[in-house]
């Protein structure tokens, strides 16, 4: 082989060697690309599955192609169940129209991605609020391939926002109902935030009163300004634990409104007072009620005084009348007692006269021989005498005839239920004398040493 042939062979061998080197380099790049692809796929799978938010891929019709574990946990479905559903089946019906509208913009190329808050329905029907970020992947020809959605559960945040709104609404209603307004005074600049409600309580629009302490202080009633300054100064100096004062404010219509003001100092990091924050509460109605109550109380006290004077006068008149009645009653009692005494004496005299002057002769006649007519006349005499004497010696049997006049008086009083003391007063005797006569009466009636009540026995003689 000549030199030319050898050179050609060497060139071909060199070209072959170069091809082999290029092939080995290409194979090495392919292997590296495969390794990088596998690493990327592993990284994607780890990111997809271990993400703290839900991630899903869906075809252009909305059917789920891939879902991660977090999304399954959020909605309560298994992976297999979700892959047989479309997003239209799990989005809340009230939020579906907006989702379809935004998806349409992605498909048309009007937008590249969107972010929205919407509700999903779990397998049990419960609502889950989510912040959803959606983008569209297209193929090399620009055709829609699949959607990528990142879904973050914001249910707790939504609950907190709802609770905050409700709390703010309750506060606003309470403030409006209670006529309470908040203020925040910058002690250095003099600027003050005034709740628009405070200004409206004085008849002003928000912009009609400058947010400066001088403007607000100028509306304090002139007679109350010193008290307000003293109360705020005492709190700022530390002499009072809080700023508290009741005062009047001037209304736009020329009237006044009563306010109860409370506030506390807010100090900076160095302990220097920087702000004072507090509230103004309109207590005009309460003050009016207090004044009305005070007026009625004064009227009532005056009426009580007048009534007391009238009652005292009436009491004096009644006392005088009572004294007169007492005197009349005492006189009447004396007259009645004397009448009772006189009656008893008359009765006793009648009984005595009958006993001494009549009964002996009637008894003597009764012991003689009388014919039937005479006996009848004598019986009639006995009956008539008893009938005549019955009003003042009621129902007493003839057994009393042997009594002395005084014993008859005592017997009559005993029969009427008089006590020894009362009989002593009526008969003008001592209690001991009355007891002596009672003892004689019991003896004559055969009641000595017998447990028989004398009044009961005398009543039984009826």
At 346 the pLDDT is 77
Q: Write out the CATH class of domain 179-282.
A: alpha beta
Kindly state the percentage of the chain with pLDDT values over 90: 32
Mean predicted confidence (pLDDT) in 347-361: 71
- Report which of 118, 126, 102 is spatially closest to residue 158, judged by C-alpha positions: 118
Tokens coding 192: 């003050």
Residue with tokens 């009436």: 314
Note the CATH number of domain 51-161: 3.30.450.20
Q: With beta carbons less than 8 A apart as the criterion, state whether 108 and 132 touch.
A: no
CATH topology match: 51-161 vs 179-282: yes
- Residue carrying structure tokens 């009532």: 300
Q: Contact, 151 vs 55, CB < 8 A?
A: yes
> Using CA atoms, how far apart are residues 233 and 273, in angstroms rounded to an integer?
12
pLDDT tens string 201-242 = 899 999 999 999 999 999 999 999 999 999 999 999 989 999
125-144 average pLDDT score: 91
Structural tokens at position 2? 């000549």
Residue positions counted in the chain: 462
Dist CA 359 CA 426 (whole Å)? 28
pLDDT of residue 87: 86
Q: Is 258 helix (H, G, I), strand (E, B) or coil?
A: strand
What average pLDDT does range 458-462 have in this prediction? 67
Report the distance separating Cα 331 and Cα 339, nearest Å.
12
pLDDT for position 327:
86
Backbone angles phi, psi at 429, to 5 degrees: -120, 170
DSSP 8-state class, residue 355: I
As a whole number of angstroms, the distance between CA 186 and CA 213 comes to 9
Return the number of other C-beta atoms located less than 10 Å from residue 127's C-beta: 11
For the chain, counts of helices (H) and of strands (E): 16, 10
pLDDT, residue 34, reads 64
Q: What is the mean pLDDT of residues 172-184?
A: 68
pTM exceeds 0.85, yes or no: no
Which residue in 67, 100, 92, 99 sits closest to 81, CA to CA?
Answer: 67
Average pLDDT score, the chain:
83
How many Å apart are CA 98 and CA 104, to the nearest integer?
Answer: 10
First to last CA, the chain: 193
Pair 266, 274: CB distance under 8 Å:
yes
Per-residue confidence band for 249, with pLDDT thresholds at 50, 70 and 90: very high
Distance from the Cα of residue 188 to its chain's centroid = 44
252-282, pLDDT tens digit by residue?
999 999 999 999 999 888 888 899 999 888 8
Q: Are strands 64-67 and 113-121 parallel, antiparallel or unpaired?
A: unpaired
Domain assignments of the chain as residue spans, ordered by start: 6-38, 51-161, 179-282, 338-460
- Provide the pLDDT for residue 393: 55
């Amino acid at each position: 082989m000549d030199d030319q042939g050898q050179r050609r062979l060497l060139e071909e061998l060199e070209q072959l060697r170069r091809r082999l080197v290029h092939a080995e380099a290409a194979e090495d790049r392919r292997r590296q690309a495969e390794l990088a692809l596998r690493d990327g796929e592993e990284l994607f799978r780890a990111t997809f599955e271990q993400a703290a938010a839900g991630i899903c891929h869906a075809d252009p019709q909305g059917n789920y192609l891939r879902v991660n574990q977090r999304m399954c946990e959020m909605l309560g479905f298994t992976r297999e169940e979700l892959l047989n559903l479309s997003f239209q089946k799990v989005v809340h019906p009230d939020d579906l129209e907006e989702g379809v509208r935004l998806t349409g913009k992605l498909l048309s190329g009007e937008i590249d991605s969107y972010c929205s808050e919407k509700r999903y329905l779990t397998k049990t029907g419960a609502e889950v609020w989510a912040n959803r970020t959606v983008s569209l992947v297209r193929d090399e020809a620009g055709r829609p391939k699949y959607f990528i959605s990142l879904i973050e559960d914001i249910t707790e945040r939504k609950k907190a926002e709802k609770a905050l709104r409700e709390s703010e609404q309750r506060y606003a209603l309470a403030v409006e109902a209670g006529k309470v307004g908040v203020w925040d005074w910058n002690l250095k600049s003099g600027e003050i935030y005034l709740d628009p409600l405070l200004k409206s309580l004085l008849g002003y629009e928000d912009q009609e009163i400058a947010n400066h302490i001088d403007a607000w202080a100028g509306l304090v009633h002139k007679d109350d300004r010193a008290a307000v300054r003293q109360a705020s100064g005492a709190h700022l100096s530390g002499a009072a634990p809080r700023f508290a004062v009741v005062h009047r404010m001037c209304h736009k219509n020329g009237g006044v409104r009563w306010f109860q003001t409370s506030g506390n100092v807010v100090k900076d990091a160095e302990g220097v007072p920087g702000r004072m924050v507090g509230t103004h509460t309109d207590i005009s109605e309460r003050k009016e009620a207090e004044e009305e109550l005070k007026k009625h109380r004064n009227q009532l006290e005056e009426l009580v005084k007048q009534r007391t004077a009238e009652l005292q006068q009436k009491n004096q008149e009644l006392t005088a009348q009572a004294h007169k009645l007492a005197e009349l009653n005492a006189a009447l009692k004396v007259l009645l007692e004397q009448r009772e005494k006189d009656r008893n004496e008359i009765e006793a005299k009648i009984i005595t006269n009958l006993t001494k002057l009549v009964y002996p002769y009637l008894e003597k006649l009764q012991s003689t021989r009388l014919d039937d007519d005479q006996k009848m006349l004598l019986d009639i005499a006995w009956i008539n005498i008893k009938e005549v004497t019955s009003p003042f010696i009621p129902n007493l049997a003839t057994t009393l005839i042997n009594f002395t006049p005084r014993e008859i008086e005592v017997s009559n009083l005993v029969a009427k239920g008089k006590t020894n003391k009362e009989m002593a007063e009526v008969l003008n005797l001592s209690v001991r004398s009355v007891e002596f006569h009672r003892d004689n009466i019991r003896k004559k009636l055969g009641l000595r040493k017998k447990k028989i009540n004398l009044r009961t026995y005398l009543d039984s003689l009826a």
